[in-house]
Amino acid sequence: MEFDLSYYIYWTLNYFFLFYGLTLVALYFFAIILSNRSVTRNKRKARFLQVNDIVSATDIPSITLIAPAYNEGQTIVENVKSLLALQYPFYELIVVNDGSTDNTLDLLIAKYDLESFDSTFITQPIPTATVNKIYKSRKLQYKQLTVIDKNNGGKSDANNAGINFASTELVLFTDADCIIEQDSLLKMVRPYLEESEQEVIACGAAIGIINDSVVKNGVVVELKLPKNLIPMIQVVEYIRAFLLGRMAWSEINGVMLVSGAFGLYARNRIIEVNGFNINTVGEDLELGIRLRKHMEDIKVPYKMVYIPETLCWTEAPNNTEVLIKQRDRWARGLWETMALHKDLFFNRKYRDMGMFYYPYWMFFELGAPIVEFLGILSLIVFGLLGLINWNMAILLFTCVYLLGCIFSTISIFIYVKNFKHYDSGKEVIELLLAAYLEPFFYHPLLVLGQVQGYYKKIFGVKSVWGNMKRKGFKTLPEDKI
């Protein structure tokens, strides 16, 4: 047979895609086993340390919740009210006003009767943008509230300012617009109380989607599935990501990312690594990797853990434009973080993280959108060249589609089995349908967003965070309940 370059490329790519796909499928099946074990183990452990025991305990680690706020005037008062109501005996709340240009600070001062304190001698282990004033409430019922007013420096910088001013053992980061379950701190502290062999440096929990749900006084009173298909598919995506992905990683101590929207960290360790990196949009992943590297360097056994319960609710992008922007930002964050820590790649010094976890992220998190994009391109090119056997291609596509559906269905099964958020038949059927529509209506948008993000990084196109236009959940006035 004559040497034909296009034929040669065609088969090389085909085998590459097949090998890549099979590896991914094998990893996903492995993740199902691990996550199932992890969820079951977590449930068993939780029986021996119930929230009622913790809430009445003394000597438990104190926690500061740090909530950066930038132009959140519309919702800040309600959100702070809800954050102040969290159940935890030793709890402080620091709201960092990151140079808002609206009335965020004025509203906080008026509502919570804040008075300013001299900040001349305040120590700042992590350098941040200038802190203008520190506010504390004159009212006893808000004594755990501190508001830091600083110049604008971005979310990471605001978080760093919060870390500086916190005086507790643990710090929890969240977004000011997240709805946090009232007993979430009691659940999040469990791993810190129960671990003895390894130091827990960070703990995350599942995050849920709250679009179209009913919220009263910062508490979710009626959880509903979003009506719009895009956030509805994100419900499935989040279930799959947290329940299959993060829980599986947690089982093998491979968690590198604790979501920036809801993560609890040991304050002393964060200070040791100099806080969040303000030069990346993937600050949560970057911090996670840096913390792990630090622990490896100082040779202290450590753990980053996830708990399967959904303790934090957030509003998901409601339209394609915002969704693409969000994924574009996430992709840039991933790219930047992977580039910053490229020394980890197959680096034996960092043991499992260097040899497995980081390469996994490189090949299958950073690499997946590129491979998918290449796959679509090859399909078009080889299709035009008449090299594709369409009958086989359709059968192969059906296989891949069914595998994807199975993974989503199993995630939904694990969720339904262990949690009661979506327990009516109608809701489960809707979730399943959303999962089956995902590859056609949703996934291409993700790939587009991610490839766009990579493009910006490769060609140095500047980009900003961008604001997400929130549709909002239904907020009931008091007399409606």
Residues interacting with another protein, by CB under 8 A?
44-45, 47-49, 53, 57-61, 120-123, 125, 169, 192-197, 267-268, 271, 391-392, 395-396, 398-399, 402-403, 405-406, 409-410, 412-413, 416-417, 423, 425, 428
Which burial class, exposed, middle or buried, applies to 377 when counting CB atoms under 10 A from its CB (0-12, 13-18, 19+)?
exposed
Half-sphere exposure of 248 (CA within 13 A, CB side): 18
Tokens 């034996």 found at: 348
Q: How far is the CB of 173 from another protein (least distance, A)?
A: 19
Q: Which is nearer to another protein, 12 or 268 (CB)?
A: 268
Q: Which is nearer to another protein, 339 or 399 (CB)?
A: 399
**Contact indicator for 150, 182 with CB cutoff of 8 Å:** no
d(CA 101, CA 473): 25
Q: Which is nearer to another protein, 170 or 207 (CB)?
A: 170
Residue in 129, 203, 142, 118 with CA at minimum distance from that of residue 169: 203
Q: How far is the CB of 400 from another protein (least distance, A)?
A: 10
Q: How far is the CB of 18 from another protein (least distance, A)?
A: 9
Q: Which is nearer to another protein, 43 or 227 (CB)?
A: 43
Q: How far is the CB of 409 from another protein (least distance, A)?
A: 5
Q: Which is nearer to another protein, 37 or 417 (CB)?
A: 417
Using left for φ > 0, alpha for ψ between -120 and 50, and beta otherwise, residue 448 falls in alpha
Q: Which is nearer to another protein, 80 or 188 (CB)?
A: 188
Q: Which is nearer to another protein, 101 or 424 (CB)?
A: 424
Residue in 286, 230, 279 with CA at minimum distance from that of residue 257: 286
Work out the widest C-alpha separation in the chain, in whole angstroms: 87
Please give the span between the terminal C-alpha atoms of the chain, in angstroms, as a whole number. Answer: 78
Q: Which is nearer to another protein, 211 or 408 (CB)?
A: 408
Q: How far is the CB of 284 from another protein (least distance, A)?
A: 23
Nearest-5° angle of CA 346, CA 352, CA 354?
A: 30
368 Cβ contact list (under 8 Å, min separation 6)? 24
Q: What are phi and psi of 195, to 5 degrees?
A: -85, 140
**Contact indicator for 125, 271 with CB cutoff of 8 Å:** yes
Q: How far is the CB of 322 from another protein (least distance, A)?
A: 32
Q: How far is the CB of 122 from another protein (least distance, A)?
A: 8
Tokens 């979430």 found at: 184
**Contact indicator for 144, 84 with CB cutoff of 8 Å:** yes
C-beta pairs of 401-408 under 8 Å, 24+ apart in sequence: 401/439, 403/25, 404/438, 404/439, 405/435, 405/436, 407/28, 407/32, 407/240, 407/244, 408/236, 408/240, 408/432, 408/435, 408/436, 408/438
Q: Which is nearer to another protein, 130 or 398 (CB)?
A: 398
d(CA 164, CA 370): 39
Q: How far is the CB of 399 from another protein (least distance, A)?
A: 5
Q: How far is the CB of 361 from another protein (least distance, A)?
A: 28
Q: Which is nearer to another protein, 200 or 289 (CB)?
A: 200
The amino acid present at 78, given as its one-letter code, is E
Q: Which is nearer to another protein, 101 or 120 (CB)?
A: 120
d(CA 423, CA 412): 11
Q: How far is the CB of 373 from another protein (least distance, A)?
A: 24
Q: Which is nearer to another protein, 416 or 445 (CB)?
A: 416
Q: How far is the CB of 113 from another protein (least distance, A)?
A: 24
Q: How far is the CB of 376 from another protein (least distance, A)?
A: 21
**Contact indicator for 447, 454 with CB cutoff of 8 Å:** no
**Contact indicator for 236, 412 with CB cutoff of 8 Å:** yes
Q: How far is the CB of 230 from another protein (least distance, A)?
A: 24
Q: Which is nearer to another protein, 193 or 362 (CB)?
A: 193
Specify the pairing of strand 91-98 against strand 145-150.
Answer: parallel
